[in-house]
Amino acid sequence: MATSVTEEKVSGGVILKISGFADGVAGKAIREKATLLMEQGVRKIALDFSEAPLVDSAAIGELIELVSVPLEDDDVAFYIFGLTEVCQKTFLVTGILNCTIECETKEEALKALSR
């Protein structure tokens, strides 16, 4: 299955849903979509990995670059949910979870986005 990145506008921000194996191409698509949203004024972005069982190293690199934005612009916040155990451990080791707010569920992310 080819990976897709879809956008859902919600109260307070946008959810980017990643479906399929997240490789470098998908990672770049995530970063580009999120960057465009930020350029359009979106300040809260949730990344939904509930349909992305694995993320490769190239996608990890793209995600690190993306979620590092709040270190320079504290008006931007990234939320993340739907991680498999493997992705959660990988994101923890690589520091991605240090730059994002992890939510257990989509409902929790929706509440966080709307605050």
Q: Indicate the helix (H) or strand (E) that contains 58.
A: helix 57-67
pLDDT in tens, 56-103: 999 999 999 999 999 999 999 999 999 999 999 999 999 999 999 999
| pLDDT value of residue 92 | 97
Contact 42, 76 (CB under 8 A): no
Distance of alpha carbon 70 from alpha carbon 1, whole angstroms:
32
Helices (H) and strands (E) in the chain, counts: 5, 5
Beta strand 101-102 with 13-19 is: unpaired
Domains of the chain listed by start with CATH number: 4-114 (3.30.750.24)
pTM summary value: 0.96
Coil vs helix vs strand at 84: coil
Contact (Cβ atoms closer than 8 angstroms) between residue 14 and residue 37? yes
Taking only the tens place, the pLDDT of each residue in 20-67 is 999 999 999 999 999 999 999 999 999 999 999 999 999 999 999 999
